[in-house]
Amino acid sequence: MHLALSVAAGAAAFALPWAVRLWKAKRWGLPVKITVDPREPSAEAIAGYFAEVARRLDERPERMKVAIDGRTDCKCAISLDFLPDGDMCATVEGSPPKRFSLRRRWIPDHQVPLDLRSCRLWIDPVDANRFRVMDRMPFRVPPGVYMLCSLIATLGVVRVQPECIAFAAGLAAGCLSAR
């Protein structure tokens, strides 16, 4: 009985941070969907999409979730890169790259070049003129959660309750893996 309860407590605690992360992802700002034509992707269209995203952020600076659907069956590479002068460059394999400028507003928190065939971007306005762009949702676990885990684990050891130890270990593992 104790073993089954311990396993259930550990599994539930492990899933808790993932559920919080999923809930936060659902509540993250305005959803925007960009669909890139899989038959004939265009670098000009990609540049236009991101200029439109920047224009929307100028009008109403709030968090955005941008889902780029370039269809994974697209044979050519579609990427976004940054040039040394601060401009951006959209590239579709087989056609010349398209340079465009967002006036140094885009602050990348992701690897470049960014593969745009299928990706999700999380945009967070920094100030009136700049926005931070990440390729995964930022998720931070408050330090107090780890202190709570150690307190629960200590209580479980002192009172010889394996359920408490399993819960604390599951919660700590879930928090570490959900980052």
82 and 99 part of one domain: yes
**Cβ-based neighbours of 165, under 8 Å, separated by 6 or more:** 6, 153, 156, 157
Q: What mean pLDDT do residues 86-112 have?
A: 86
Helical ranges in the chain per DSSP H: 2-26, 43-59, 143-158, 162-177
Q: Model pTM?
A: 0.69
Q: How many domains does the chain have?
A: 2
pLDDT digits (tens, 9 = 90+) for 77-91: 888 888 888 889 998
Domain limits at 149?
2-23+140-177
12 and 97 part of one domain: no
Per-residue pLDDT, 70: 67
159 and 117 part of one domain: no
Length of the chain: 179
Q: Where residue 106 falls among pLDDT bands split at 50, 70, 90?
A: confident
Per-residue pLDDT, 141: 79
120 and 152 part of one domain: no
75 and 115 part of one domain: yes
Sole residue written with tokens 């955005």: 64
Which of the residue ranges 2-6, 11-15, 71-75 would you say has the lowest mean pLDDT? 71-75
State how far Cα 135 lies from the chain centre.
Answer: 5
Per-residue pLDDT, 173: 86
Per-residue pLDDT, 15: 87
Q: Where residue 162 falls among pLDDT bands split at 50, 70, 90?
A: confident
